[in-house]
Amino acid sequence: QKEVEQNSGPLSVPEGAIASLNCTYSDRGSQSFFWYRQYSGKSPELIMFIYSNGDKEDGRFTAQLNKASQYVSLLIRDSQPSDSATYLCAVTPGGYQKVTFGTGTKLQVIP
Amino acid sequence: SAVISQKPSRDICQRGTSLTIQCQVDSQVTMMFWYRQQPGQSLTLIATANQGSEATYESGFVIDKFPISRPNLTFSTLTVSNMSPEDSSIYLCSARGTRSGNTIYFGEGSWLTVV
């Protein structure tokens, strides 16, 4: 079983819709969760991080964490073509331990 | 966030040669890492660069192939030795530390093509 699992996609959504990206992880001791966006040919850039159960909102982005279900998601409201990228979920046990990345979900926002 | 500079940004290398990638962070960080991202794949951690001591390598990566140095808190190098076409990849430096809290930030990457 992979430590961090994501559907590779592509996930296609129309412009203006909500894109929902999902991630599950295997280590119940995981404490910190990150979402990165990676455009083709570029390095990953941090979108959001979440540490506590529940929702965390930042602009059009909402991260949702459910530690009991070992599940973290990213919602993108009012999706734009510029959101088309690969979204990487990353998980760490906390502190200054290594971060494990999922394989990423490719999102396509259709104009 | 930490600003991370890598060089070279891109290079074409001959089979059998070695190339050293440099990574400079704009502030003191507690941890620096090197990742590899092969075409169409996700990130794979090569090693954690430790200041003043040998790097901690992940399974499948060895010091002879990927020697790493970190002489101070803000600078690290990764050498890809005796390159083969299978080493064609993006190599990413990342950092995590006091200013960035628990978050990892990435450099722009070094795109290596081995011919």
**Section B68-95 average pLDDT:** 95
Contact B104 A43 (CB under 8 A): no
Q: Cβ distance B32 to B14 under 8 Å?
A: no
Tell me the chain B residues in contact with residue A85 when contact means C-beta distances shorter than 8 Å: none
Q: Which of A9-13, A27-31, B85-89 has the lowest mean pLDDT?
A: A27-31
**How far, CA to CA in Å, does B20 sit from each of A76, B66, B112?**
39, 9, 11
Bigger pLDDT: B27 vs B57? B57
Tell me if residue B66 falls in helix, strand or coil.
coil
Judged by CB atoms closer than 8 Å, whether chains meet at B102 and A98 is answered as: no
Q: Determine which helix (DSSP H) or strand (DSSP E) holds A24, and give its type and residue range.
A: strand A19-25
Is the model's pLDDT at A2 over the cut of 90?
A: no
Candidates A87, A70, A102, A100; CA nearest to A13 is A87
Mind listing the pLDDT tens digit for each residue in A60-86? 999 999 999 999 999 999 999 999 999
For chain A, how many residues are written? 111
**What are A59's strand-pairing partners?**
none
Least confident of A19-23, A38-42, B100-104: B100-104
CA distance A30 to A98: 11
Which of B9, B30, B34, B42 is the best residue to mutate to test the A interface, defined by the most A CB atoms within 10 Å of its own CB?
B42
Chain B closest-CA separation from residue A88 CA (Å):
8
Contacts of B51 in chain A (CB under 8 A): none
Cβ–Cβ below 8 Å for A43 and B48: no
Give the residue-averaged pLDDT of A48-61: 94
Interface test with A, best of B43, B45, B110 (most A CBs within 10 A): B43
Q: What is the pLDDT of residue B96?
A: 82
Q: Do B33 and A96 touch (CB under 8 A)?
A: no
In the structure, what pLDDT confidence band is assigned to residue A94 with cuts at 50, 70 and 90?
A: low
Statement: residue B98 has pLDDT above 60 = no
Residues of A in contact with B90 (CB under 8 A): 43
Q: How confident is the model at residue B58 (pLDDT cuts 50, 70, 90)?
A: very high
B57 interfacial to chain A (CB closer than 8 Å): no
The tens digit of pLDDT for each residue in A16-39 reads 999 999 999 998 888 889 999 999
Question: Does A48 have pLDDT greater than 80?
Answer: yes
Question: Looking at chain B, which residue has its C-alpha nearest residue A48?
Answer: B103
Model confidence band, residue A96 (pLDDT cutoffs 50, 70, 90): low
Check pLDDT > 90 for residue B103: no
Chain B 87-106, residues with CB within 8 Å of chain A CB atoms: 90, 92, 96, 102-106
